[in-house]
Amino acid sequence: MDFIIGNKPGRQPTPPQRAGAPSVASPPAPTAAAVISDGDQASFMRDVIEASREVPIIVDFWATWCGPCKTLTPTLEKVVRSAGGRVRLVKIDIDKNQALVRQLVQLGLPLQSVPTVAAFWQGQIADLFQGAQPESEVKRFIESLLKLAGGTMPGADLLAEAKAALDEGQAEEAGELYSAALQQEPESPEAWGGLLRALLALGREDEAQDALAQVPAKIAEHAEIAGARSALSLAAEGRAARAQLGSYEARLAADPADHQARYDLATAFNAMGRRAEAADALLEIVRRDRAWNEDAARLQLLKFFEAWGFDDAATMAARRKLSALLFR
């Protein structure tokens, strides 16, 4: 099956229907005016406090003279729009609303510097941050707010289902779900990384390479993409190493100090899914001669960690062993 990547001109994305799943009509998307608005003292109670009893409200306190505000506000607007009406943004110019600012400061809201972004839910301040933040952090902030309010960002359920399918070895289903998530959010690093891993699991390395070339430049260095890129690189190395598995084992049996054979054996083990053995082989090189081949064993182990994922059980176990070796 071919996976659809991103939105195609003239086509509306349609996520795959699961067997037996009811057809549910999507609610009309709220207008930009309803989702993002300018606020002031007169509208604050209505647009923030009262409205937050129905939907989470993000308040962006900004000023025309504030350089970081000019960077943060467009990012906030983008992420709020991508939430599809699940959260709203109210922008307040502190210079034009000084009386409101004084009242909020008396209530404990730190508005001595801008930008300050406060999240309101059920009439109360739920969270806040100050200073310009990258898009990934803004998204995480809003995702946490939505979770508190019992909701999720669009595509979050698809991503969770896709990851579960991939973890269970159902790569075809995972690829379909990640593809559907990309239809909803073409710049989702989690969806891109997951799709690349699904293609790898299916042995479709050429397609994975093609997909990697289509990853938007702005997320190309995201940890999810970097990990999938490492996994793709290791898959190519592993193909050749697996064919020589017996040779590497024989060389090591004859000479335990043959670090190149042990290194290649680790690459073969990784390609076979034998992660603990792959890590142990590289750790043994580090134990015997850390400087071998310009620290190649440790660097390859870090590449394994990136490919496996930093929360993978094999990564965490091997990282503890590596720390013990390096700091003994």
The full set of domain ranges for the chain reads 32-148, 156-220, 240-326
Give the pLDDT band (50/70/90) at residue 287. very high
**Residues 125 and 183: beta-carbon distance below 8 Å:** no
The correct answer on CATH 2.130.10.10 for the domain covering 32-148 is no
| Per-chain mean pLDDT for the chain | 86
pTM assigned to the model: 0.57
Percent of the chain with pLDDT strictly greater than 70: 88
Plot region of 29 (φ>0 → left; ψ -120 to 50 → alpha; else → beta) = beta
pLDDT digits (tens, 9 = 90+) for 213-242: 999 998 898 889 999 999 999 988 888 898
What per-residue confidence (pLDDT) applies to 149? 82
Homologous superfamily, domain 240-326: Tetratricopeptide repeat domain (1.25.40.10)
31: tokens are 């207008």
**Distance of alpha carbon 227 from alpha carbon 194, whole angstroms:** 10
Give the whole-angstrom CA distance, residue 204 versus residue 200.
6
Right CATH number for 156-220 from 1.25.40.10, 3.40.50.720, 3.30.2020.30, 3.40.50.150? 1.25.40.10
Judged against a pLDDT cut of 90, whether residue 185 lies above it is answered with: no
The 10s digit of each residue's pLDDT in 203-212 is 999 999 999 9
Percent of the chain with pLDDT over 90: 60
Burial degree of 84 (CB within 10 A; 0-12, 13-18, 19+): middle
In this chain, the answer to whether the domains covering 32-148 and 156-220 adopt an identical fold is no
pLDDT of 76 above 90: yes
Tell me the three state secondary structure of residue 112: coil
Catalytic sites, residue numbers? 66, 69
Kind and range of the H or E element at 164? helix 156-167
